[in-house]
Structure 1
Amino acid sequence: MTIHYHEGDLPNGLNLGAVVAIDSETMGLRFGRDDLCVVQLSAGDGDAHVVRLNRPAYDCPNLKALLTDEKVLKLFHFGRFDIGMFLLHLGVVTAPVYCTKIASKLARTYTDRHGLKDLVRELLSVDISKAQQSSDWGAQTLTPEQLAYAASDVLHLHTLREKLDTMLAREGRTELAQGCFDFLPHRVKLDLAGWEDTDIFAHSWS
């Protein structure tokens, strides 16, 4: 594995292919309070690209172009959060997308364990560490441990997608999953508009 570190943006001319795994690191998990700090990406080739963003300008035209490229499928695990952070801080709607957490919930109905660590362990027989998850991602210099952690979150998403797609097809839920992926950017807009904790589809007598 090679980790390519970039300051501010992806380099000009970088081609990560038609399917790119993406994750982000932030100062916390609350929209409107916590900043987006780092974005990590992988083409599924065993390498990772880690971008430490320049706050608060977020001047990253190459990254924004990739996120909005209709010809590039973006893979996430719990994409709802990352896509929301990208919309809030980078001002772009990320699409098209695939979320391994949504796929897992639709395909792996025999369990309630849908975290990335659980998925990678069961489907790929790989253990990944989450030790750096709560570290200071806003620091001016990222540690080797932080870089390795960031990379680990995107290195397995391509293979996970293949495994989950097979399970979805077996259970007859491929079309249902695709509908959820297509709706995800709209779900994010609802989150940012104030309906993050409200199921607007639920019945109410009032």
Structure 2
Amino acid sequence: MLAGSDRQRVQERNNGGSKISKEAINELPLGKWQGPSLLVTTKTEAEQAAERLNRETILGFDTETRPAFKKGQKFNPSLLQLATGEEVFLIQLQGVGLPQPIREILTNAAITKAGVAPDFDLRGLQAIAPFAPVGFVDLARMARRRGIHNQGLRGLAALVCGLRISKSARTTNWAKPELTPQQLQYAATDAWISREIYLRLRDFPPEHSPEFPMRKNG
């Protein structure tokens, strides 16, 4: 549930303040994930992560992909991030693939997975291993139905949570075997803030039809 001050802040931003400039975002305090981040690099670790994730009902969701700088160049996601309220799991897809226990999380209707434009991320994951995604919520769609014009993750973090998140590591090489502390912080923050945005937006009444988790991809 939204605290009174959080609800008021969201309402104030949406009443004539449903759009925020880059300049205004840059004035906000920097927000980042400060809890434990668990890097998953083996199938055994993936099984352990899935056991923990299966206890949750709401997860923040995101992926990171090596940037393509040449026309026609395309890469599969290198990292899958899933955030609970207490920890963030960073699954290195380059080495572990997409094991069945993790796919079961992505197809579990009882677990809401919240992210911005998850369809794009899911297509990349399906190129690694086939599965039928269930329980995904698009934060951009939620925001649009609530009259919010900024629908990217950075804009939503600013409008909904009053925080500025860094995007400086977005175009770094996510396919490297060893990720830098900056990359790990960036990836964990994106999944964490996705969950936080969902928790705040779900209690704010939509202007149009209610939001339901996606039952399947597309």
TM category, shorter: 0.7 to 0.9
Q: Structure 2: which amino acid aligns with 1:53?
A: L
- The question of 1:2 aligning with 2:2 is answered no
- The aligned counterpart of 2:94 is 54
Query: 1:79 is matched by which residue type in structure 2?
Result: P
Structure 2 residue matching 1:139: 3-state secondary structure: coil
Report the CA distance shift for 1:173/1:150 in structure 2 as closer, same or farther (over 3 A). Answer: same
Alpha-carbon shift at residue 170 of structure 1 (Å): 4.8
CA contact (8 A) 1:8 1:60 kept: no
Aligned CA distance change for structure 1 residues 108 and 170 (closer, same or farther; 3 Å) = closer
Question: What is the alpha-carbon distance in structure 2 between the residues aligned to residue 67 and residue 31 of structure 1?
Answer: 28
Query: Is this contact kept in 2: 1:8–1:58, CA < 8 A?
Result: no
Contact kept? 1:42, 1:154, Cα under 8 Å: yes
* TM-score, with structure 2 as normaliser: 0.72
Query: How far has the Cα of 1:2 moved from its partner?
Result: 1.0
C-alpha distance in 2 between matches for 1:50 and 1:139: 14
| Cα RMSD after superposing both structures | 2.4
For residues 107 and 183 of structure 1, what CA distance do their matches in structure 2 show?
Answer: 21
CA change 1:170–1:26 in 2 (3 A) is closer
Structure 1 CA distance, aligned partners of 2:88 and 2:162? 20
- Partner letter of residue 113 of structure 2? K
> Which sections of structure 1, spanning at least 5 residues, go unmatched?
188-206
**Higher mean C-alpha deviation, range 96-105 or range 28-37:** 28-37
CA distance in 2, matches of 1:7, 1:183: 29
Work out whether residues 115 and 195 of structure 2, in 8 Å CA contact, stay in contact via their aligned partners in 1.
Answer: no
Percent of aligned positions that are identical: 18
Amino acid corresponding to residue 173 of structure 1 in structure 2: S
Q: Structure 1 segments of 4 or more deviating over 4 A?
A: 29-32
Change (3 A) 1:184 1:99: farther
Residue 172 of structure 2 corresponds to residue 132 of structure 1: no
User: More displaced, 125-134 or 6-15?
Assistant: 6-15
Query: So what's the TM-score if we normalise by structure 1?
Result: 0.76
Alignment of 1:35-184 (within 5 A): 35-45=76-86, 47-54=87-94, 58-109=97-148, 111=149, 113-167=150-204, 169-174=205-210, 177-178=211-212, 181-182=213-214
> In 2 relative to 1, CA 88–80 (structure 1 residues): closer, same or farther, beyond 3 Å?
same
Q: CA deviation at 1:58?
A: 2.0
Change (3 A) 1:32 1:15: farther
